[in-house]
Amino acid sequence: MVRFGCDGKGAQMSEAGAPASSDEFDCFDLALLTRAERYKILTGAVIPRPIAFVTSLGPDGLVNAAPFSQFVILAVDPGLLGFSVGPRLAGSHPKDTLANVRAAREFVINMVPEGWEDVVQRASDEHPADVSEVDLLGFRTTPSTRIKTPRLSGSKIQFECVLDQIVNFGDAPNHLVVGKVVAMHVKSGLAQDCKIDPKAYSPIARIGGRNYVRLGDLVKA
């Protein structure tokens, strides 16, 4: 615990030099953690995260599917979505999604409906590049309208994207894949005047580890 101290040496100090550790807070200096610990504490804190279930085209037209919860709207004008691809746990070659997107310059982000928790988790297992998670896990696909990469049937909202840019962050590094949305598919009846009914939509989100959450109470501010 001492190792997590905010003075960089072990003791937990405030900016003024007084001990920062109190009954109320533990202060973590992220630089003193291992990579695995940093990952655990950051992904446990920034929750809930929506999940981009990304389909991409591999060599020979193989359809790859993998979930990414470091996922964000980067711009509205035009619509740009980004997800961050980290390094593999073992080996130095890029994750299949990153390699595919670099080559094909397009992908689909499929939002994840309730009931897909287990299958999304299994899609994240590392498979060789010549194994399609779509075939392996029994997904059905629907052709896209503006790109070649297919969408996942059963997902209630899908974004067809063309690659805008890939930006590197950090030392590992993480690659932020930015896609321009060229077509957005919303299940019939979900949107009225572009307002999406969140209850009917009900995507799942990821919290720490293998845990997911569903939408709970809606609170009006």
Ligand X SMILES: Cc1cc2nc3c(=O)[nH]c(=O)nc-3n(C[C@H](O)[C@H](O)[C@H](O)COP(=O)(O)O)c2cc1C
Binding residues for ligand X (CB under 6 A)? 51, 64, 66-70, 83-86, 95-97, 120-121, 124, 126, 206
> Is the Cβ–Cβ distance between 58 and 64 less than 8 Å?
yes
* Nearest residue (CB) to ligand X, 11 versus 213: 213
Q: How far is the CB of 211 from ligand X (least distance, A)?
A: 9
Q: How far is the CB of 119 from ligand X (least distance, A)?
A: 10
* Nearest residue (CB) to ligand X, 145 versus 165: 165
**Cα Rg, the chain, nearest whole Å:** 20
* Nearest residue (CB) to ligand X, 21 versus 121: 121
Residues 6+ apart with CB under 8 A from 139: 65, 119, 133, 152, 153, 154
Give one DSSP letter per residue of 60-110, joined into a string: GGPEEEEEE-SEEEEEETTEEEEEEE---SSSSSPPHHHHHHHHH-EEEEE
* Nearest residue (CB) to ligand X, 2 versus 213: 213
Q: How far is the CB of 151 from ligand X (least distance, A)?
A: 17
Distance between CA 141 and CA 125 in Å, rounded? Answer: 20
Q: How far is the CB of 18 from ligand X (least distance, A)?
A: 38
Distance between CA 174 and CA 35 in Å, rounded? Answer: 13
* Nearest residue (CB) to ligand X, 28 versus 71: 71
Q: How far is the CB of 133 from ligand X (least distance, A)?
A: 7
